[in-house]
Amino acid sequence: MEAEHEEAMRSDFRERTALQHSAYQPDVTEDQINEVYTKTRQIDDRWNAGPHADQWRYLSDAYADWRDAPDTMDRFIDNIEFNRAKGYDDFGLDEVQRRSLYQARELTEPHRVRPRGRGQRER
């Protein structure tokens, strides 16, 4: 994947996730929700039909994994980086996929529920 294509993919994915989150705001109308879903479908369709469909799906899957299992993904990234530092590449990720993991983490981070620390109690 050429750098300019990767940059476009990351920008479109960032836009797509922002659109999705905008649909869940309290004052959003039914028409606005339909418009959001139309736009996100158009973005998905464009990438899924193109030559970089596999990278788009990888990024989409990484996003879903970070959203649904952030602790597991944190461990996965730690393992990847530990192995890379030791000169191993057991996971077979290319650099675009590796950057996709980091972008997905960045995009999901503000929306994750933070567990309360130890010893904290409600009063």
Statement: residue 119 has pLDDT above 80: no
pLDDT of the residue at 20: 93
Specify the pTM. Answer: 0.85
Rounded Cα–Cα distance for residues 56 and 16 (Å) = 12
CA 65 from centre of chain: 8
Lowest mean pLDDT across 5-9, 39-43, 81-85, 97-101 = 81-85
At 88, which amino acid appears? Y
Q: Are 107 and 63 in contact (CB under 8 A)?
A: yes
- Rounded to a whole number, what is the distance in angstroms from the first to the last CA of the chain? 53
At 31, which amino acid appears? D
